[in-house]
Amino acid sequence: MAAGLLLVGPGAQAQLLPGGGIGDAGRIVPGVIDRLEEGVDGAALDRLSPTRLVRQLAAARTARIDALVRAHGDRVELDDRREPARRGVILLTGASEASSRGLRAAGYDITQEAVEGIDLPILRLSVPTGRNLAKALREVRALAPEAQASADNLYFASGRAAAEGSAPLAANPVGGKAVGLIDGGVARHPSLTGGVEQRGFAEGAPRASAHGTAVASLISGNGAIRGAAPGASLLVADVYGNDPAGGGAFAIVRALGWMTARGVRVVTVSLVGPANPLLEGAIRLAREKGVTVVAAVGNDGPAAPPSYPASYSSVLAVTGIDGRGRTLPEAGRALHVDFAAPGADMRAAGLSGGADKVRGTSFAAPLVAGRLFLRGSRDALAAEADRRGKPPVVCGNCRNID
Residues annotated as part of the active site: 183, 211, 362
Q: Is 317 helix (H, G, I), strand (E, B) or coil?
A: strand
75 alpha-carbon distance from chain centroid:
22
CB-based contacts of 157, cutoff 8 Å, min separation 6: 183, 184, 211, 270, 271, 360, 362
CB 152 within 8 A of CB 249: yes
Q: Could you count the other beta carbons within 10 Å of the beta carbon of residue 14?
A: 12
Total Cβ atoms within 10 A of residue 190: 14
Dist. CA 401–CA 398, nearest whole Å: 6
Closest CA to 207 of 168, 254, 248, 253: 168
- For residue 304, CA distances in Å to 67, 111, 322, 333 come to 19, 35, 20, 6
Are 389 and 12 in contact by the 8 Å Cβ rule? The answer is no
Return d(Cα 229, Cα 213) in angstroms, integer.
15
Residue 200: its H or E element:
strand 196-200
Handedness of CA 223, 36, 180, 196 (dihedral sign): negative
Residue 368: name the closest of 267, 225, 238, 299 by CA: 267
How many whole angstroms separate alpha carbon 239 and alpha carbon 259? 13
The b-or-e profile of 305-327 (16+ CB within 10 A means b, else e) is: ebbbbbbbeebbbbbbbbbbbbb
In the three-class reduction of DSSP (H, G, I as helix; E, B as strand; rest coil), residue 59 is classed as helix
User: DSSP strand E in 104-184: where?
Assistant: 109-115, 120-126, 148-153, 156-157, 178-183
Under 8 Å between Cβ of 389 and 5: no
Instruction: Report the alpha-carbon distance of residue 185 to residue 353 in Å, rounded.
Output: 15
